[in-house]
Amino acid sequence: MKKETIINMTFDEKDDYISQFNENKLSNKLSNYILDECRGKPLKNKITLNIKMNYRISNKEKEEFIKMIHNNYKDDLKEYMLILKRSIIKKIIIFFIGVVLIYLAYFKDIMDNEVISEIILIIGWVAIWEVAYTWFFESDKNRIMVKRLKQLIKCNINFK
């Protein structure tokens, strides 16, 4: 049985949830609030937003609001995936630079200077370590964020 993460929200007016710069966008404040309320909750939970409006809202406005929330997190996911893609490309490049530098450091015949050879060796190992560290430790954070955004794209939204 899947558990549910329920987030209750109350709005007194439309300005409480729309962006001050674009009527068709969700406010950053609300977007961040919803994401913060999900932190620490199991990724297997289904997310439900219970919304209470303290003013009259039509069914069309409700549909637009639901679409606004889902589109907000779709856009966030696209942006996050773009960042991750660029990050992976950089990691691959840094890894290969590290390997090349280590390989160069072992050719002492080419490098007469022992200090330069050691510096190149150290830079190579640091580059590889940096990639390994981010791959093993930072990638979990990225996977959690992607799953969380996908949850929010599919969240249930109820009006009370």
- Strand-pairing partners, residue 8, are 50
Q: What is the pTM of this model?
A: 0.81
Report how far residue 39's alpha carbon sits from residue 145's, in angstroms, rounded to the nearest whole number.
Answer: 10
Question: pLDDT value at position 82?
Answer: 96
Domain that holds residue 147: 4-159
Report how far residue 105's alpha carbon sits from residue 78's, in angstroms, rounded to the nearest whole number.
Answer: 41
CA angle 132, 138, 144 (to 5 degrees): 140
How many domains is the chain partitioned into structurally?
Answer: 1
State the residue for tokens 């406010």.
27
Question: pLDDT value at position 149?
Answer: 96
3-state helix, strand, coil in the chain (%, to 5): 65, 15, 25
Question: pLDDT value at position 32?
Answer: 95
- Strand-pairing partners, residue 5, are 47
Which tens digits make up the pLDDT trace of 1-27? 568 999 999 999 888 888 889 888 999
Average pLDDT per 10 consecutive residues for the chain, totaling 160 residues: 87 88 90 95 94 93 94 96 94 96 78 80 94 87 93 94
